[in-house]
Amino acid sequence: MVPSPRPIEIVEAPAINSLTKAGISVVAVGGGGIPVIRRDDGSLEGVEAVIDKDFGSALMANLINADLFVISTAVEKVALNFNTPDEVYLDSMTVAEAKQYIEEGHFAPGSMLPKVQAIIQFLESGGKKALITDPEHIGEALRGETGTWILP
């Protein structure tokens, strides 16, 4: 078992930002990246840890000033009372509502909880909007036909 710290910096962010501004599609952060610490002399040292990909992606989205942060996951929409007879799918929610749902225990740790927390981080750090859906429905979700939209 190794720790799973929240990332505070993405070393490659300036290069990724330059590439995206040049119109190049970049795949970054998936799988959590390679965790490092910065030594006092400025050098980097690898450490045994697993960087959470949701929080890493939220940080990257903020660092490149993304207009939209999309988390592609195993479900088409976020649900309250997930996998119960009272399951309710959400078309949208605000940050305040998301925090309330977290407080009420609607999102499972290691599943939907870190995704919603990462989106809250993104939005509270200046992001404009976010979307959670599954890969099969991304196109429809971007057209507003499905998925769960999260707004400030």
Parallel, antiparallel or unpaired: strands 129-133 and 68-72: parallel
Answer whether 130's CB lies under 8 Å from 105's CB.
no
Q: What are the tens digits of pLDDT across the range 97-150?
A: 999 999 999 999 989 999 999 999 999 999 999 999 999 999 999 999 999 999
Architecture of domain 67-152: 3-Layer(aba) Sandwich (3.40)
Give the total residue count for the chain.
Answer: 152
Q: What is the pLDDT of residues 73-91, one digit of tens each?
A: 999 999 999 999 999 999 9
Domain ranges of the chain: 1-66, 67-152
